[in-house]
């Protein structure tokens, strides 16, 4: 379980509820079952229209992945590749065939089989690159679905508010309850915007980040396997792969600095 995601969600919800209490409101005033059903049902329904049933059925697994600590460990990956490079140097490439089944990483196992079969590096790169692209399409699908839901949710909130206001104006003769009815109508907008920005959009961003990390991990594995097939020394392979991981970290740091600078200039 990724505590950062869980604690972040709980903190955001607590902040909303606590701010309602300290301003003199009541939590009961924020409860409206019909608005909640409209937002959840309408958002999921609209999202289902945008995708196939096969894609929508994967949503639960994407939600689990978003809250699960599933970030690739680059150090462990590099150590594993270097270990196989040392075995290949001592025992030959054919010895990697028996080691493939021992790897918990299916991508590494597949690559080791290709290396042990003496597949040409260009062809091996083509096969494994296609596998990386396929995995990326799957990884980014979850982020795309949740991003779509995050776009529909506020709109559903506005629809709910309009429906509520139509109902209020239809009974405008009862002026004593007019203000309370309008407040209830705007709860739909509150739910729509809140659920989008506390749930769908953050999880979409999380899955996007995980997809980028997984792509880097797969590219590191690919480079390592090609280096093993080419007979490079384990030490050189280790330095090469660590350089790839470090370059990505530096690129992300530069991106964060650019974002902060842009926000500061605004």
Residues 168, 182 contacting (CB under 8 angstroms) = yes
At residue 69, the pLDDT reads 73
Which one is predicted more confidently, 17 or 25?
17
Is the pLDDT at 86 greater than 50, yes or no? yes
Structure tokens at 149: 């839901």
Lowest mean pLDDT among 85-89, 224-228, 255-259: 255-259
Is the pLDDT at 266 greater than 60, yes or no? no
Backbone angles phi, psi at 105, to 5 degrees: -95, 110
Sorting pLDDT into bands at 50, 70 and 90, what band is 257? low
Is the pLDDT at 247 greater than 80, yes or no? no
Nearest alpha-carbon partner for 187 in 57, 50, 68, 25: 25
Q: 127-169, pLDDT tens digit by residue?
A: 999 999 999 999 999 999 999 999 999 999 999 999 988 888 8
In the chain, pLDDT over 70 holds for what percent of residues? 91
Q: 179-212, pLDDT tens digit by residue?
A: 777 877 889 999 999 999 999 999 999 999 999 9
| Cα–Cα dist 209/68, whole Å | 13
Is the pLDDT at 260 greater than 70, yes or no? no
Which one is predicted more confidently, 260 or 15?
15
Sorting pLDDT into bands at 50, 70 and 90, what band is 248? low
At residue 175, the pLDDT reads 66
Q: 26-81, pLDDT tens digit by residue?
A: 788 788 898 999 999 999 999 999 999 999 999 999 999 998 877 899 999 999 99
DSSP string, 86-142: HHHHHH-GGGHHHHHTT-S-HHHHHHHHHHHTT--HHHHHHHHHHHHHHHHHHHHHH
Q: How far is CA 107 from CA 79, 172, 215, in A?
A: 15, 65, 12
Nearest-10 Cα torsion for 140, 144, 41, 17? 90
Structure tokens at 69: 């600590």
Structure tokens at 163: 């429906």
Backbone angles phi, psi at 202, to 5 degrees: -60, -40
């Amino acid at each position: 379980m990724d505590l950062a995601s869980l604690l972040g969600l709980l903190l955001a919800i607590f902040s909303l509820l606590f701010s309602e209490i300290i301003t003199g409101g009541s939590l009961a005033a924020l409860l409206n079952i019909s608005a909640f059903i409209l937002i959840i049902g309408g958002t999921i329904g609209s999202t289902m229209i945008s995708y196939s049933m096969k894609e929508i059925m994967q949503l639960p697994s994407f939600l689990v992945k978003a809250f699960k600590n599933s970030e690739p460990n680059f150090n462990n990956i590099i150590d594993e590749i270097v270990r196989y490079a040392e075995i290949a140097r001592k025992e030959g490439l054919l010895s990697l065939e028996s080691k493939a089944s021992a790897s918990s990483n299916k991508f590494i196992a597949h690559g080791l089989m290709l290396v042990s079969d003496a597949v040409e590096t260009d062809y091996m790169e083509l096969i494994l690159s296609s596998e990386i692209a396929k995995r990326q399409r799957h990884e980014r699908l979850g982020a795309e679905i949740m991003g779509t839901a995050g776009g529909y949710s506020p709109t559903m909130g506005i629809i709910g508010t309009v429906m509520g206001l139509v109902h209020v104006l239809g009974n405008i003769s009862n002026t004593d309850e007019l203000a309370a009815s309008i407040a209830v109508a705007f709860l739909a907008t509150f739910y729509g915007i809140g659920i989008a920005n506390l749930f769908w959009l953050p999880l979409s961003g999380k899955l996007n980040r995980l997809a980028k990390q997984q792509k880097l991990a797969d590219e590191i594995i690919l480079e390592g396997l090609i280096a093993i097939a080419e007979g490079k020394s384990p030490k050189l392979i280790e330095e090469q792969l660590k350089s790839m991981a470090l370059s990505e970290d530096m690129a992300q740091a530069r991106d964060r600095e650019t974002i902060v600078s842009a926000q500061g200039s605004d």
